[in-house]
Structure 1
């Protein structure tokens, strides 16, 4: 979000700042603004477990920058990735304000935060009703007409902004209530699973959760758990999709908090 211009400044460990500065073009590391120096960072291993310490040493040599595996990992996870844009820039903000009442209307109807739906719409199309994907998905919420016509949504014409947002919100509610209604799933995770299902389909998310459980992870938690299994089943696309929406959601809330007198709300 700093690179996108949503956040102007942040404090971070110097090694992380230098890593991201190599990848994100608009990051500037201000080393003269250090708030503390001379700190140490490392792994803590029990004296009774020298085998783990030895394995960590071997692992570090394999993955550190400059090693073959390290270079592969940096290229895979940090480079050639679609980073978020700034949803608060003037043109994007005008689109958002124009559509906000519709996001509020259908967010209230189906039990969603309007900003969360708007964040999804921004990830899908940058709030562009004229956007059409190569798969035939259309509009702000990038929904297939066949999905919108299905009895679980029942909105035949999604060519208008209102119908498109309505269909997207209603389909999200269907996914949430049909597949992720278990009270053991927290509200934030229900939202994350619903977004993942919107992107990859509910059957794939069911497989992700089963895979997570088999891996010893929590099948009811997305971040740090099911998202890891998702990467093994469908690759990075769905993982990045959910993460980006959360970032846009955070960006909208942050913009509202930072500019209360000029509130986007």
Structure 2
């Protein structure tokens, strides 16, 4: 199963790292958020009109001066927009609310004072935070070591 952590996506992760750090947004949230948005497809288009790797709606892309066909512009715009959302008083730096605002609109987070009760938004936030949580405190070396351990344990149990 493909993942934003696959080696083929290293260049995109490097861009997310750069822009996330530049604007104070957790890059690992960005890996999973942009993966959820577009599967890292630069020219992705949604049925409702969102476009690019960060799936900006046309009005938001215009407001934030994002060229959705340019990967650097899109990732830079994503990081600037997320940083702006995180600083809103109704979000208070909480990633669950910031992700919900990105997905369902800032007005809906203001209205409900929480992650809105929309199934798509609830799943969006839950999926990204769950995947982000799986990365906390684990280095690439740890992932490799865990992979080898799982492989050898599987082999060992098959011999019984």
Q: Classify the TM-score, shorter chain.
A: 0.7 to 0.9
Q: Deviations over 1:135-160 (max 9, x none)?
A: 1111111112321221xx233x2211
- The CA deviation at 1:106 is 0.6
Contact 2:38 2:44 in 1 (8 A): yes
CA RMSD across the alignment: 2.4
5+ unaligned residues in a row in structure 1: which ranges?
Answer: 1-84, 210-225, 261-265
Q: Sort the Cα spacing of 1:245 and 1:99 in 2 relative to 1 into closer, same or farther, 3 A.
A: same
Match of 2:107 among 203, 211, 218: 203
Please give the TM-score of this superposition, normalised by the length of structure 1. Answer: 0.49
Structure with the greater alpha carbon radius of gyration: 1
1:39-188 → structure 2 map (5 Å cutoff) = 87=3, 93-150=6-63, 153-155=64-66, 157-180=67-90, 182=92, 187=93
Secondary structure class of the residue paired with 2:88: helix
Match of 1:236 among 95, 102, 119: 119
Q: Deviations over 1:14-40 (max 9, x none)?
A: xxxxxxxxxxxxxxxxxxxxxxxxxxx
- The CA deviation at 1:206 is 1.4
Q: Deviations over 1:124-181 (max 9, x none)?
A: 111111210011111111112321221xx233x2211111111111111121113446
- The CA deviation at 1:95 is 4.1
Q: Sort the Cα spacing of 1:247 and 1:166 in 2 relative to 1 into closer, same or farther, 3 A.
A: same
Which aligned segments of 4 or more residues in structure 1 are displaced greater than 6 angstroms?
none
Is the aligned partner of 1:259 residue 2:144? yes
| CA distance, structure 2, for counterparts of residue 251 and residue 130 of structure 1 | 28
| CA distance, structure 2, for counterparts of residue 176 and residue 206 of structure 1 | 13
| CA distance, structure 2, for counterparts of residue 180 and residue 110 of structure 1 | 19
Secondary structure class of the residue paired with 1:259: helix
Aligned residues: 144
Secondary structure class of the residue paired with 1:178: coil
- The CA deviation at 1:252 is 4.4
| CA distance, structure 1, for counterparts of residue 11 and residue 45 of structure 2 | 20
5+ unaligned residues in a row in structure 2: which ranges?
Answer: 146-160
- The CA deviation at 1:250 is 2.8
